[in-house]
Structures are given as C-alpha cells and as structure tokens.
Amino acid sequence: MRRSTVVVICDHAHTSGGLARVAIAGACGLARRGHRVIFVAAVGPVEDELIAAGVTVVCLGQSDLLNGRNRLETAARGIWNATAAKYLRSVIDACPPEDTVLHIHGWAKALSPSVAWICRRSGLPVFFTLHDYFALCPNGAFFDFQKGRNCELKALSPACLRTHCDARAYHHKLWRSARFAVAASTRSLIDGMTLITLSEKQRAVIAPHIPAGTALAHVPNPIDVRDLGPAPVERNREVLFVGRLSREKGPVLLAEAARKAGVPVRFIGDGGERSAIVEAFPGASLAGWLPAEQVTAEIRKARVVVLPSHWYETFGLAVHEALANGVPVIVSDNTAAVEAVAPGRNGFVFRSGDSDDLAARLRDLADDETALRMGREAYERYWKAPFTLDRHLDRLEEVYGTAGWAAKACPPAVHAVGARA
C-alpha cells in the first residue's frame, strides 16, 4: 500500500542543534521530492526553510524545558506534555491510515514521552532516530557525568536509581527517572517501533538495552558541506574542537593534551567547562558559538579537528565536515566517529580519557608532510562516498518502504503554522 504522508516529530521547529538540523533537512528534502510532510514541534520559531519547502508545520509555541518560566509546570510538562499529545493525535487522525508513516527525531527537550505513546496507539508505522539515548537511559547518554565514565546499568534498576550520574544535581536524575518510569508504565517507549541508528558503534551500545527482535535500520546523518577542495593543512597550526563545552565532550582533556604537546588549540562552542579549559591551558583560544559558514572557515584553518568525547557519541558531525574539507581528525575510541577513521591515513584514534595518548597523536601531526598526506587522503576518501542529503533521503525512503510505503509523489502540503499553547 502506497505511503505518501510523513509526520516528523521534533522538539524544535528551528535549527537548535544537530538533531533539529537533521530533522528539518530530512523533512524539507522529502517535501521537495513530492511527499506530503507534516512537521510537529513544541518550540518555535519556525525555520523559514520548512515553509519554503512546502512542509506543513504544527508548532505549539511552547518553551523548551530549560527555559520554562514556571519550574513546577515545566517539570510536569516534561514528564507528560498533554498539549503535545492532543495536537499530535489530531494531526494523525487527519492523515490517511493506509498512507502515513510517523518519524520521531526528538522529544526529551519539550514534547515528552506523551508523543511516543500517541504514535504507538495510532497503529501506524513508527520510526525513531536515536540522536541520543533518552529512549533507553534516563540521562540520555549511558554516561556517569559525575565520574566521567560510561554506564552499563539497567535503566531504573536499584543501582541506577541510587547512582548520581546527572550532569547537574541528583534531583535532576530523580526527575529524569520519574519521566522514564512514566514512559515505561505505558509500555516501553520504543515498543513496536523501528529504531534508526546512525552507526554500527551505536548498535553495539544499545544492544543490551533493547528488547529482542527490535527492528533496527541504519541511516547516517546528512552532512551539509560543499566541496571546496582540500584545505592547506600543511600551513595550518591550530588544533580545533567544535561542539558544546561540557564534561562528556572532553574539551578539558583536549586542553591538557594540547598543552602537553605544545600546540595551539581553539574551541568553537560554549558551555560549563569554559573556565576549566582556561585553567588546564591558559593559552587556549575560545571563540564561542559561530555561524555555520564561519565554522567551515575555522575548520579549513585547522591542522586537525579533534573529537575527544568520553561518552558514546552517536555520529560526530564535525569529524565528517573536517574530512570533507581535507582536514585530518583525531577521535576517541569511545565514539562512533572511529568508523570514519583509517588510522595513519586520514587521522588517528586515541584511548578515551588518556590525555598522554592524545598528546602523542597531536605530535604525530606536527610534521608538515604527514599533515599534507593525511589531509589529502581525508578529502579523497570522504568524497568517494559523501554523506549527501540525497543519499540520506534515498535511505529514508528505503527504510520507510519496509513498512510497505512506496516512495510516491503526492500533492504538496499546505503551508501552516498550527496551534499555540
């Protein structure tokens, strides 16, 4: 039976980070291919690209959980967003049941587990992209933020509940556990859904935490990058970090390693570890968040881009952007980005959490000829099979086809911004 309506579910209707960027790009791409796409979000503003592409947008006009004015109301809404459930149900009820698939990208920052419950109740095919691990772990990372190490505890087990693993305070962990418990009380959050993974590493991470027989599909993220040719890395000197300056991302580890290796380091992004970075390496350069085009320019001025994350990074957008620009990379062996690295060819892999090993890899790239060779190979390898949006959309349509959906064109959607609550 032909499927020609796709309901995309995402906390934000604008590009608030990598998750929303992928959801919006996919929705717009599918709409441009002729499918009817409805984008349901809690938080505005609405990205202009969605309207321009002919996507129907239902945006509730709510705040995300970090910016709610009433803390008690926001906490309750984060556990169960009744308004989101109501509007999503109305959207689904108006869709032809023989012609619709549902695709969840993100719910943890505003929409709550209520949207997963509505999706399951619909009886329609549901696909859930695991940009993070909130569907399987209360703190969303399988990571103990207090101890700085991976966590293998079963969600909501006594040991899990006793462990203060949250990045902030223990009462945040208890709230997240309550949210997870509410979701579990209505059956597993992912029960009956097809989980979309971004890497083989991610599949290995989630394997012990999902029910036997759970349907899995592999759909890499699209990378929005132009072919500008290889960067002149042999003339560049700075080591570059791109991302949130938070403990699990490992920026302080990189600062320590750069100091040991005697190389300049620059950080693009912001977060709670900013002062700790300066303490670890007073000479570090911190640029804050920059527009996308400036990030590309910074990557092309770098000797190497480093992903030092302690946690199970699901993909590593900055790594692929660097490779596309002919910039070598160094990544932690705990991240999914290792799948993009041919050690000694286009980059290096270092032992997670080991600043001495990372410093040694930074010194390996100090030689100009080595940097030039690895940069050229990084560029050539990436562009042999680039992660283009078309490749992403082809794969999405193929995966949707497992639910009996034939990728077929239909009339364009009406442009609309829906209810506000």
Structural domains in the chain, sorted by start? 5-136+189-222+388-403 (3.40.50.2000), 233-384 (3.40.50.2000)
Percent of the chain with pLDDT over 90: 81
Task: Indicate the range of 29-33, 283-287, 333-337 predicted with least confidence.
Answer: 333-337
> To the nearest whole number, what is the mean pLDDT of the chain?
91
Summarize the confidence of residues 311-339 as an average pLDDT: 93
The residue among 37, 3, 2, 45 whose CA lies nearest residue 20 is 45
**Residues near 305 by beta carbon (within 8 Å), at least 6 away in sequence:** 240, 241, 242, 299, 318, 319, 321, 322, 327, 328, 329, 330
Summarize the confidence of residues 278-288 as an average pLDDT: 96
Alpha-carbon span 92 to 116, nearest angstrom: 12
Summarize the confidence of residues 89-93 as an average pLDDT: 98
pLDDT of residue 261 exceeding 60: yes
pTM for the full predicted model? 0.88
What is the model's pLDDT at position 421? 33
Summarize the confidence of residues 244-251 as an average pLDDT: 90
Residue 198 pLDDT grade (very low, low, confident, very high; cuts 50, 70, 90)? very high
Summarize the confidence of residues 46-57 as an average pLDDT: 97
What is the model's pLDDT at position 181? 92
Residue 148 pLDDT grade (very low, low, confident, very high; cuts 50, 70, 90)? confident
pLDDT of residue 67 exceeding 50: yes
pLDDT of residue 220 exceeding 60: yes
Alpha-carbon span 323 to 329, nearest angstrom: 7
What is the model's pLDDT at position 404? 56
pLDDT of residue 78 exceeding 70: yes
Cα separations in angstroms, 89 against 86, 112, 120, 354 = 5, 14, 11, 49
Summarize the confidence of residues 66-77 as an average pLDDT: 91
Percent of the chain with pLDDT over 70: 95
Residue 420 pLDDT grade (very low, low, confident, very high; cuts 50, 70, 90)? very low
* Helix 251-261 and helix 355-364, axial crossing angle in degrees, nearest 10: 50
Alpha-carbon span 361 to 343, nearest angstrom: 10
pLDDT of residue 342 exceeding 50: yes
In three-state form (DSSP H/G/I as H, E/B as E, the rest C), the secondary structure along the chain is CCCCEEEEECCECCCCCHHHHHHHHHHHHHHHCCCEEEEEECECCCCHHHHHCCCEEEECCCCCHHHCCCHHHHHHHHHCCHHHHHHHHHHHHCCCHHHEEEEECCCCCCCCCHHHHHHHHHCCCEEEECCCCCCCCCCCCCEECCCCEECCCCCCCHHHHHCCCCCCCHHHHHHHHHHHHHHHHCCCCCCCCEEEECCHHHHHHHHHHCCCCCEEEECCCCCCCCCCCCCCHHHCCEEEEECCCCHHHCHHHHHHHHHHHCCCEEEEECCCCHHHHHHHCCCCEEEECCCHHHHHHHHHCEEEEEECCCCCCCCCHHHHHHHHCCCCEEEECCCHHHHHCCECCCEEEECCCCHHHHHHHHHHCCCHHHHHHHHHHHHHHHHHCCCCHHHHHHHHHHHHHHHCCCCCCCCCCCCCECCCC
The residue among 15, 17, 51 whose CA lies nearest residue 32 is 51
